[in-house]
Structure 1
C-alpha cells in the first residue's frame, strides 16, 4: 500500500522501483495467456503507461500488484479486441489469430481463478457452506442438518459469501 501512496504522490523513484519489480512478472503473465512475445511486450509497456497516467485515481485499498495485474489483463483484452477487429476489417479472416472466443476464454479463466481465490480466503464456515451449496448442490436444509445449524444460518452464510464475491468483482471492474 506504501507503493500506491508514493505513486499517487508523483514519486517517480517508487514508480521505477515498481516497474523493475513487476515488469517481468507482467510480461510472463501476458505471454502465458497469449503465447505472443509481441503482445506481451506491448501489454506490459501499455500497463505501466496506464498506471502512471491513472496514478491519481488508483485505489489505496488494494496492493499495487493486484492493480497492476488487473490493468494488464484489461489492456491485453483491449489489445486482442483491437487486433481481432483490425483483421476482420482487413478481410483476412483466414489468418485471424485472436478471436472473441480466445478473449472470452481468457476472461473466464481469470475470473474463475479470482473467484476461487476469494472463496479460499473466506472464513472457514462460510466457505464450507458456500462450497456445499454451489459446488456440490446441497440444499440449505441438507447443509443445515450436516452442521447442526438452522437453514436460516445457511442462507446467511451463502448471502455473505455472494456479497463478498460481488464486492471484490465490482472493485476489480473499476
Structure 2
C-alpha cells in the first residue's frame, strides 16, 4: 500500500509539473486575476490528489484536470462575486455619530461641492475625472486631449484652492464653536 502511495505521489508531481502553468494560464485568461489563477491551481491539484488517492478517476487524467479546472474556476468566481456583493450590502459606516455632527458633515460636503463648482471649467472637469471617476492622469489626458503634466498641474491647483478655502472654513467653524 505504501509503495502505491509513493508511486502516486511521484506521478502526481509529474502531473503537477506538466499542468500547473496550463491551469494557471487558463484561469488567468478567463479572469485576468492572478489571485484567482493561483487559487484555481491550488484547488485543482488538491482535488486531483483526492481523486487519485481515492482511486476516483473515471476518465483520462487530462480530461479530469480540465473538468476540475472549469468547475473550480466557476466556484471561485461565484465566491468572489458573492464576497464583493456581501461587502457592498453591509451598512455604510456613519461619519457622524449624532444629528449635529451629521448636519456639520452635510455642510462640509456642500462647501466642498461649491468649491469644486467654482473651479475653472477645465480644472473642474480634470478634478472630477480624477476624484469621482477614479481615472489616472494618463487616462484623463487622453480623454481631454491634454498632456499628463497639464492634468497634474490642474489637480495640484484644484487641491490648493480647495485646501485654502477649506482651511479658512474649518478655522471659522473652530472659532464659532468657542465663542
TM range (shorter): 0.3 to 0.5
Q: TM-score, normalised by structure 1?
A: 0.45
Between 1 and 2, higher relative CO (CA 8 Å, sep ≥ 6) is seen in 1
Q: TM-score, normalised by structure 2?
A: 0.44
